[in-house]
Structure 1
């Protein structure tokens, strides 16, 4: 498994999200400016709803920017235990301990990106190949760590 390639895929996904949020914010701000009118309170309500939408989009943008910051600090170096930056194969699947951006496909395999703060990673944190852990009454064996 090429961890640098996986990191590049994740960075690209996050950058796409960032661009999308920036575009949505710009479009929403433009439509907010279009609603300026002296027609009265109903337009003020509409403008307030648009402002709330901008605030929500801005929060999501900031979250994506934080994810990008985290991913830029992750090394592609091999790991010998489950920690941030480790690619872990269990008998239930492949997990990449980075930031959570969902599933990615590499070398015809689905890999779930998982935050180090997730319950799954907390359950297997610090474990090495061959060790067993249990989460939600499901026992898994760590088969390989990259």
Structure 2
């Protein structure tokens, strides 16, 4: 399995998400400017709600930017143990340890991208091929690590 292709897909998805959040923030700011009026409290409440939405979008954008920064630091070299940048095949699925952006499909295979902070990765961190771990009372065996 070519980890560089997986990284390219992740980078592309993150770039798309970042662009989407930037556009949403810009649109929301523009609509916030449109509501400026001297009509009273009702408009102030609307502007406050828009500001809260901008803050929420900004927080999500910052999270994507942090994930993008983490992705830039990933080593594409083969791994012999479960760590950041490893592609891990268990008897339950294929997991790429990087930024958590959900499921990607590459070469007709489903790959779950998971963060090093996820309970799954914490349960199997540092393990090698052939070792077992358990999460949520489900036993898994590491079949391969790239």
1:80 and 2:80 aligned = yes
Equivalent residue, structure 1, for 2:9: 9
Equivalent residue, structure 1, for 2:68: 68
For 1:32 and 1:117, the matched residues in 2 are separated by: 36
Structure 1: stretches of 5+ with no match in the other structure: none
Equivalent residue, structure 2, for 1:23: 23
Question: Secondary structure, in 3 states, of the residue corresponding to 2:75?
Answer: coil
For 1:39 and 1:78, the matched residues in 2 are separated by: 63
CA RMSD in angstroms, aligned pairs only? 0.5
Question: Secondary structure, in 3 states, of the residue corresponding to 1:36?
Answer: coil
For 2:105 and 2:56, the matched residues in 1 are separated by: 30
Equivalent residue, structure 2, for 1:99: 99
For 1:27 and 1:20, the matched residues in 2 are separated by: 11
Q: Deviations over 1:19-53 (max 9, x none)?
A: 00000000000000000111111111100100000
Shift of 1:107: 1.1
Equivalent residue, structure 2, for 1:129: 129
With normalisation by structure 2, the TM-score equals: 0.99
Question: Secondary structure, in 3 states, of the residue corresponding to 1:11?
Answer: helix
Work out the number of aligned pairs and report it.
146
Q: Deviations over 1:34-74 (max 9, x none)?
A: 00111111111100100000000000000000000001100
Equivalent residue, structure 1, for 2:116: 116
